[in-house]
């Protein structure tokens, strides 16, 4: 009886399995659409990150890098014999300003990545908005920051002033610096002209920036002439002018960014 019952149970189980298999559809829909996971930041937090980005890039490039490079280019002869922490004053000023600039711009880069959920918003292969202001701004900004990183890495390869390869280092260092700064000014200018919602008054920001660029060009020309004619008082005047004007412009543009709605 027990054996018959066991056989009967197995037969019934096999019939159930066979029935279940035969009732299954021949094809399954493999195009299962999973619900998108939304990790978008809150609007106020995204806006805050964007403001931090704009402020950091403005201050980092137009104040710290500009003044650090300007001092290096024209004021090596000032306090030539004075040292601070085993290095000449001009070198320490240049290094401190550019180190702070790198830290500040890195904070700005991280902030905008957080604001965009680490998604690339620049040109894409086959993209239909590759020439939009946002795409141009993103591409120029990435290249400016990338060259800045290369500049920092390149500084570790600095050889002694009397080394035969020093001339190559100087030219590479100079080209990286000039290229990154020009790209940065272009990036900031595009933002001021086309991203009006991120400024209390984008028109005022644009005017202030272009006036400032004119001041920079004027100061460069003035210092090139003063250097050749050994006009130290004129060079000091230019140094004060570029420092104060960059401080005023960065403060004003940053205020326009931070107070925007």
Q: What are the sequence ranges of the domains in the chain?
A: 43-198
Token look-up 């399995």 returns 17
In CATH terms, the fold of domain 43-198 is 1.20.120
Under DSSP, the state recorded for 196 is G
* Residues 211-246 as b or e (16 or more Cβ within 10 Å = b): ebeeebeebeebbeebbeeeeeeebeebbeebeebb
The pLDDT mean for the chain works out to 86
pLDDT score, position 27 = 54
Residue 114 has pLDDT above 70, yes or no: yes
- Which residues face 140 on adjacent strands? none
Q: Is the pTM of this model over 0.85?
A: no
- Compare 75 and 148 and report the one with higher pLDDT: 148
Using a pLDDT cut of 90, give the percent of the chain over it: 60
Q: What percent of the chain has pLDDT over 70?
A: 85
Q: pLDDT digits over 58-103, tens only?
A: 999 999 999 999 998 898 888 777 777 777 888 888 899 999 999 9
């Amino acid at each position: 009886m027990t054996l018959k019952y066991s056989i009967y149970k197995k037969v019934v189980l096999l019939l159930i399995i066979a029935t279940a298999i035969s009732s299954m559809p021949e094809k399954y829909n493999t195009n299962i659409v999973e619900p998108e996971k939304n990790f978008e930041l809150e609007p106020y937090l995204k806006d805050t990150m964007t403001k931090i980005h704009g402020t950091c890039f403005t201050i980092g490039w137009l104040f710290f890098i500009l003044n650090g490079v300007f001092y290096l280019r024209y004021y090596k002869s000032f306090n030539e014999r004075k040292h601070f922490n085993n290095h000449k004053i001009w070198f320490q000023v240049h290094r401190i300003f550019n180190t702070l600039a790198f830290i500040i711009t890195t904070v700005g880069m991280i902030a905008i990545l957080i604001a965009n959920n680490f998604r690339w918003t620049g040109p894409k292969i086959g993209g239909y908005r590759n020439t939009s202001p946002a795409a141009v701004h993103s591409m120029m900004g990435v290249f400016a920051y990338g060259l800045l990183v290369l500049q920092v890495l390149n500084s570790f390869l600095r050889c002694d002033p009397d080394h035969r390869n020093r001339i190559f280092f100087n030219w590479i260092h100079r080209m990286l610096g000039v290229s990154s700064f020009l790209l940065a000014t272009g990036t900031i200018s595009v933002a001021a002209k086309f991203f009006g919602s991120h400024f209390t008054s984008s028109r005022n920001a644009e005017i202030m920036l272009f006036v400032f660029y004119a001041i920079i060009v004027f100061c460069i020309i003035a210092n090139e002439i003063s250097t050749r004619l050994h006009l130290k008082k004129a060079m000091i005047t230019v140094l004060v002018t570029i420092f104060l004007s960059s401080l005023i412009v960065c403060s004003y543009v940053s205020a326009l960014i931070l107070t925007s709605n």
